[in-house]
Amino acid sequence: MTLFLKLWPLFFVLCALAPTAIASPPPVLLAHEATEGIDPTPYWVSEKLDGVRAVWDGRALRFRSGRPVHAPDWFVRALPPQAMDGELWLGRGRFAELSGIARKQVPLDAEWRGVRYLIFELPEAPGDFSQRVMAMRALVASANVPWLGAVAQERVPDRAELTARLAEVLAAGGEGLMLHRADAPYLTGRSDALLKLKPWSDAEAIVIAHVTGQGRFVGMLGALEVRMADGRQFRIGTGFSDAERQAPPPIGAQISFRYRGLTATGLPRFASFWRVREPL
């Protein structure tokens, strides 16, 4: 009985924490690949940020998986109560650093001072995307929070200008461009309303096994055995740093990889590891 009384307060604490620790993945809009020669005039165009996607429901900030982002209280407390979808961002080419910051269970204020939350969508907001672009700009301006911003959206008049804009972003170390149909209502799931334009394709897969390295990789990772959402399995043996080969993504981790086209059997050609999809 004495032990029961000692553990009873802990039971209430765990019950209180459970709703925030476990949540279903929030429904979000996912992009298709843009086709060659696409006409950009029906779209708003923005840079594809090298960040960590985060969804704000007005009270809590979560990764795409539904797990909570352990940001400092001051970071989330200042956000407006309206639902927002966007990216945590440090700058071009700094994903690994950002991932290390965002994955910590106990956030460090000094690290989060450099993080921005850049939004590109307002979940469930009325109107088409053009109207939501204006609403995002107004929301950010009225919130007046230094670490909250709206992803820059612009209209591009023709394919030549789109190509020039892509080249400019790539030359500056960016990943590519996003194209969002101006007339699209708020949507979730994978849709042609949102397209990504990059010099390579990318996809996601689950790590199901580690293949031991040979030669100079003896004692380290040689390749990842992965499974895609449609059940197809294959190996990824390139794109890893030595540090990643020594401490590879664990079994069950969801990773992103890059590839160029498909083989005759429909598997990704020249697949190369890119990164863990979100912090572990």
48 is catalytic: yes
The identity of residue 203, as a single letter, is A
26: nearest Cα among 123, 151, 105: 123
DSSP 8-state assignment for residue 137: H
Token pair belonging to 68: 């909570």
Among 185, 158, 194, 148, smallest CA distance to 48 is for: 194
Q: Which one from 6, 48, 104, 196 is the annotated catalytic residue?
A: 48
SS3 (DSSP) at 229:
coil
**Contact, 245 vs 238, CB < 8 A?**
no
Residue 179 near residue 40 (C-beta atoms within 8 A): yes
Contact criterion met (CB below 8 Å) for 188 and 28: yes
Q: Is 63 in contact with 22 (CB distance < 8 Å)?
A: no
C-alpha torsion sign, points 65, 270, 217, 210: positive
* Other Cβ atoms closer than 10 A to 27: 13
| CA-based torsion, 241, 95, 253, 28: positive or negative | negative
Which residues are the active-site residues? 48
